[in-house]
Amino acid sequence: MSGNNPASRPQRFPLQLGKVGGSSAGGAAGSAREVLMPQRHLREAAQDAARQLAPSGLGLDSAKVRQRMVQRLRRDGLHDERVLEAMARVPRHEFVDSALATQAYEDTSLPIGHEQTISKPSVVGRMTALLLGGQSARRQGHLGRTLEIGTGCGYQAAVLALLSQALVSIERLKPLHDKARLNLAAVQLSQVSLVYGDGRLGWSKGAPFDSIVAAAGGDDLPEAWLAQLAPGGRLIAPMGAPGGRGQVLVCVDHVTEAGASRFVRSEYEAVLFVPLKSGVM
């Protein structure tokens, strides 16, 4: 079943978590500071971040647990307040198996079944912040129309949705597609269209996209992704490094100058993602 097959029906959900992406960069950052640092003395905030109490039991549903994760991410170098605010809103423990819920706010990847994982919070934050640095995102103040390759359990889709005008997320494994649908419905998140299909084909029905992000890595960037990237758009994906040196984060910008269009590629730090595969299962 192809990702572009008309039989693939996107599912949508009512928005409840609130939308971050419609604000300008400056306005969003100011709003985020109010949410994440509510009138506390800076010394108290630093002490709270230093304690980093491990979440357990019933405390998992507390916003304070997510704020501690956000404070750790900020301390470790993630400074885009729009991303931090979105991650403070999404209950990551709702997207992992109950047996692993106490590890949900640690900076670690976790298994979600079918030989797939949920990415580390720091990796989700890093890739989202890089997307927001694209030309279209800087101009609009949000990710615009976003395509995610590899829905997994739906956690990164939830974060991206809060920063996007609209999000299409494709998953090739039917059990994970179904799991993500239930997870996103449980947190009542809108702005998301889920597609069961081959992510290497992208989603031509919704193209062009201002932002494209992949949660699986290969040795090449599918031509379909580049064809579906809007002028001024940015693509972030893990790719094999030259010489077989593992994977690195690759950024591709669709640049237009004087009527000419070209793709500009940049490479960032080493990462480790599951392999990018074709077809559906």
Query: Quick one: 205 exposed, middle or buried, by C-beta within 10 A (0-12, 13-18, 19+)?
Result: middle
- Other Cβ atoms less than 10 A from the Cβ of 217: the count is 21
If you write DSSP's letter for every residue of 49-71 in order, what string do you get?
A: HHH-PPP-GGGGG-HHHHHHHHH
List the catalytic residue out of 23, 119, 164, 169. Answer: 119
Per the document, the length of the chain is 281
Q: What are the tokens at 69?
A: 């994760």
Please, what is the Cα angle at 168 between 219 and 199, to 5 degrees? 30
Q: What is the Cβ-side half-sphere exposure of residue 188, based on CA atoms within 13 angstroms?
A: 5
Active site (annotated) includes residue 119: yes
- Contact between 237 and 221 under an 8 Å Cβ cutoff? The reply is yes
- Other Cβ atoms less than 10 A from the Cβ of 57: the count is 8
Cis link prior to 208 (omega < 30° from 0)? yes
Cβ-defined contacts of 54-59 (< 8 Å, 24+): 54/102, 54/106, 55/93, 55/102, 55/104, 55/105, 56/102, 57/102
Burial 225-235 (b: 16+ CB within 10 A, else e): beebbbebbbb
**What are the residue numbers of the active site?**
119
